[in-house]
Amino acid sequence: MRTNFILILMIGTIALNSCIHLPSNNKHDEIHAIIEKANSDFYLDSRIWYQDIQAEIAGETIILTGEAFYSIPVRGISRKLKKAGYDFEVIDNVHYLPEAFPGDLAYGIITEPYIMGRYKPVDHKQEGTEMLYGEPVRLIREKGDYLQVQSAIGYLGYIPKDALRRVNLQEWNRYQIGKQAVFISNDTLDNGVVIMMGSRLSYLENEKVLMADGEEVMLPQEHYKIIDPAVNPLRQEILTSAQQYLGLPYVWGGRSADGVDCSGFVMQCYALNNINLPRDSDEIANVGRMVGYPGWMDAMLPGDVLFFAGSRRMITHTAIYMGDGKVIHSLGKGVQIESMNPEDANYSESLERRFAFAKRIFE
């Protein structure tokens, strides 16, 4: 009888101590659910950008880990947690991409006729998209014998390290700015270099093109056609259309002359010039060719479309570039012109801080 009593007392003590000292997992589960939802709400095609944040919880400290391209949506997680009643200390240990590369050699020029970018650093399956000879790419990270790169159209992919020439930003710009020689058929040059139809190289002058290895080569124009994005009159026509909306109020979901939201505004400015874009900012962000990132705006031209990161999700705003750091967009008080140049009177610190990337929809 005494033994049974002692046994019951021990079980009761253990249960009581469990209630007192061992916290419920409910809070932890809810915190993880909030972060998982933030990753899901981030939404942008994972072939182009992604966010994969996890949390380690120690007492009333939350340590954010994982990977992301932008800090603004990650900081938004802290606000979501506080709004849910978790006034914990949040430590940001997230690994942000792209990684730093020595000597500013954070860019590359594809040197193969074409190379398949794959979603994983392996030499089979997981195909993403091919990159063509002379294509400028941004380096994201190294992994063994492979480099993860972001192609000119934005797709992420792993390619062998020897499939490109590493360059700094100044050299990379030579392939981005000015006239382009677009090859109109498959071509094998006298020096044995194979260039596939659709490849483009920087056109210098007098039938001289800039090869992927950095050599300047004379090449008759019968091999390619020359385009000059800077002189396309459609750029000014889009800006003219955009300025017709100046002063209209911001209307959520609006795309009429009574008011527009940010993506409705961009969509309509392009539609007035016979270019149809998707409806929402994060959908438009998947269209076109990359021409700008924070710290690299040299290649951007008037009429290009800019995208801005938000705390709720990856892309929450879009605008049309006017040149010299200025943008025209619909936000807050309505359609207006603001600048990302701190020296301008209409400078917007928020726009400059939130700028994520720019895309070129037409040449």
Catalytic residues, which ones? 262, 317, 329
Omega of the bond leading into 249 within 30 degrees of 0 (cis):
no
3-state SS assignment for residue 25? coil
Enclosing H/E stretch for 6: helix 2-21
3-state SS assignment for residue 103? helix
Instruction: Catalogue the E-assigned strands of 263-314.
Output: 289-292, 305-309
d(CA 295, CA 321) in angstroms, rounded, equals: 16
- Main-chain dihedrals φ then ψ at residue 323, nearest 5 degrees: 100, 160
Amino acid making up residue 290: M
Beta bridge partners of 203: 209
Instruction: Catalogue the E-assigned strands of 174-227.
Output: 180-183, 187-188, 194-195, 200-205, 208-210, 216-218, 224-227
Among 356, 295, 300, CA closest to 48: 356
Among 242, 121, 104, CA closest to 171: 104
Alpha helices (H) along 22-58: 26-42
